[in-house]
Amino acid sequence: MLRLYTHPACMGHDPGPQHVERPARLQAVLQALDHDRYAALDRVEAPRATREQLLRVHDAAHVERMLAAAPGEDLLWLDEDTAMSPGSLEAALRAAGAAVAAVDAVMAGHDQRAFCAVRPPGHHAPRDQAMGFCLFNNIAVAAAHALAVHGLKRVAIADFDVHHGNGTQAIFEHERRVLFVSSHQSPLYPGSGREDERGVGNIVNATLPPGAGSSDFRELWDGVLLPRLHDFRPQLVLISAGFDAHQRDPLADLRLGQEDYAWITERLLQLARAHAGGRVVSSLEGGYDLTALAASAAAHVGVLLD
């Protein structure tokens, strides 16, 4: 069984009609999953993340700033890309809370796998600020929860978003219990993710040049990232599921198709079956062409469900 965590509040984060990280993204994903093929999804309303959960990965000043910052009618711009609308705080709390609840569910054995269809995304947010469309780092909150509450010793985060998850890397670069592996286009925002950025041996970055396609992506994961994940023997596999390496995406220059997302999902499921009792939690990150996002997310969820 696969649990699907989402919440209507995640539609309420609205950074403006011209912004690429718009409510229609989540609507496209949920519509793609509103099909007989996905009838077996166990649909669960995402709870809010608590202050305690957020403080495991974010500075108190950042958490308090976000909790106090909910604007009135106008947008509050936190950086040149990242804005808060009146509904943004509730959306961000539900997005982070979804990932925490998903970890609890898979660790309790209710379901082996979960997908969090939420926004705003999270992997660019470091400890002390919002950035890159991200308010809280959802996947990092989930990983820290797994360590603190469930006592895990080895948690893996696999990030295949086209942009490097700089926030996730910065949060865990000194935490040996977390292995962070990422494939991403370089050069590209946010400019981090060089292959010599290794943390304490727990960071593995693998870069793809503009124009790289399916074979390059698969060779990178099969040859570099998946072997490191297997060597780590994670007790839980977390996925930062960004679909913006798709060839249709307007923010990058890679040439993946939805079949590549099905392929990497199956590879990560094999990893989880081998080492983690099949436990996987995936959370939506990027993807800005609505057609490509819907098809890619559906392919990802289809493999998780099967």
Q: Which residues are catalytic?
A: 124
What is the helix, strand, coil percentage profile of the chain, to 5? 40, 15, 40
Beta strand extents in 64-174 (DSSP E only): 76-77, 83-84, 113-116, 155-159
Whether 83 contacts 75, CB under 8 Å: yes
> Of 210, 204, 207, 260, which is closest to residue 234 (Cα–Cα)?
204
How far are the Cα atoms of 19, 97, 225, 303, 304 from residue 40, in angstroms, in the given order? 33, 23, 31, 13, 12
> Of 43, 44, 105, 106, which is closest to residue 278 (Cα–Cα)?
106
Provide the phi-psi class of 204: left if phi over 0, else alpha when psi is between -120 and 50, else beta: beta
Per-residue tokens: 32: 């793609």
Sheet holding 203-208, edge to edge: 42-45, 2-6, 113-116, 280-284, 236-241, 155-159, 178-185, 203-208
> Of 222, 232, 223, 138, which is closest to residue 179 (Cα–Cα)?
232
Main-chain phi, psi angles of 204, to 5 degrees: -130, 110
